[in-house]
């Protein structure tokens, strides 16, 4: 049996094809970098928005706690006494009221 040797054809890519491949890779890289930059910008904006919302949440929780404490105080006899004295001008029978002269 005779061995047949195949000759490898030494075909080289044309310069135009090589340039097309390089340009395609370059365009893909540029698109990836552009998308990365826009995503980083969006991430910064979302992080800032998250910080603002966390601040608002903390303020709302503080306000809720203050209102709960005020509601609890409003159900005590001390509150009723304070309202009677300050708004209605009522006093206990054994108290003496001294008002400054104008």
- Is the residue at 63 inside a domain? yes
The pLDDT of residue 73 is 94
- Is the residue at 52 inside a domain? yes
Contact 60, 66 (CB under 8 A): no
Number of separate domains in the chain: 1
- Is the residue at 100 inside a domain? no
Residue-wise pLDDT tens digits, 6-44:
655 556 778 889 999 999 999 999 999 999 999 999 999
The pLDDT of residue 34 is 97
The pLDDT of residue 90 is 84
Q: How far is CA 29 from CA 4, 32, 63, 97, in A?
A: 46, 5, 51, 85
Write out the residue range of the structural domain in which residue 68 sits.
24-86
The pLDDT of residue 86 is 86
Contact 95, 89 (CB under 8 A): no
The pLDDT of residue 6 is 61
pTM of the model: 0.56
At 95, is the secondary structure helix, strand, or coil? coil
Q: How many DSSP H helices and E strands does the chain contain?
A: 2, 0
């Amino acid at each position: 049996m005779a061995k047949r040797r195949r000759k490898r054809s030494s075909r080289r890519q044309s310069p135009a094809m090589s340039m097309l491949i390089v340009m395609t890779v370059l365009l893909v890289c540029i698109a990836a970098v552009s998308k990365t930059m826009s995503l980083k910008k969006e991430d910064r904006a979302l992080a800032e928005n998250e910080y603002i919302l966390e601040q608002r949440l903390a303020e709302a929780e503080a306000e809720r706690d203050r209102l709960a404490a005020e509601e609890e105080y409003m159900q005590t006899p001390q509150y009723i006494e304070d309202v009677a004295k300050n708004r209605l001008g009522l006093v206990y029978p054994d108290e003496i009221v001294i008002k400054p002269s104008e």
